[in-house]
């Protein structure tokens, strides 16, 4: 846990949330400022500041994050309609919380390239 990290505080229960999914390694929560009808953040319970800090030991964890996104999208019909999964890394990509999280966005037409 990083005492200055918003997502570590959520994971520690210091900031209460109602998770959509919670297990030993991950939590999935609704984004506080949703950019689509479904906007979920899939967050590992260990503090990793950004994709720049990944090491091979994280490979299974990151795989689980993507599989969790698919498992959250499927029962809502977005496996057919479509969805987007995004990691923002660094300032120009708009990363604002430096604890990795996978955005799952769905429920509207998503432009490409992104803004």
Annotated catalytic sites, by residue? 101
Based on CB atoms, which residue is closest to ligand 5GP, 1 or 56?
A: 1
Q: Which of these segments, 20-28, 51-59, 87-95, 105-113, binds ligand 5GP (CB under 6 A)?
A: 87-95
Shortest CA distance to 40 belongs to which of 111, 101, 113? 101
99 lies in the binding site for Zn ion (CB under 5 A): yes
The pair of structure tokens assigned to 53 is 């800090």
Q: From the CB of 93, what's the least distance to ligand 5GP, in Å?
A: 8
What's the half-sphere exposure (Cβ side, CA atoms, 13 Å) at 4?
A: 2
50 lies in the binding site for Zn ion (CB under 5 A): no
Binding residue for ligand 5GP, selected from 96, 109, 112, 113, defined by CB under 6 A: 96
The pair of structure tokens assigned to 64 is 């689980």
- Cα–Cα distance for residue pair 43/7, rounded to 1 Å: 8
């Amino acid at each position: 846990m990083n005492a200055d990290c918003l997502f570590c505080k959520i994971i520690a229960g210091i900031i209460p949330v109602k998770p959509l999914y919670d297990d030993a390694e991950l939590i999935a929560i609704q984004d506080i400022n949703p950019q689509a009808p479904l906007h979920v953040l899939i967050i590992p319970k260990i503090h990793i500041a950004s994709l720049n800090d990944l090491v091979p030991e994280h490979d299974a964890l990151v795989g689980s994050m993507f599989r969790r996104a698919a498992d959250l999208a499927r029962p809502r019909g977005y496996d057919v309609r479509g969805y987007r999964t995004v990691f923002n890394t660094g300032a120009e990509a708009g990363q604002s919380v430096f604890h990795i999280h996978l955005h799952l966005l769905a429920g509207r037409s998503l432009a490409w390239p992104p803004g």
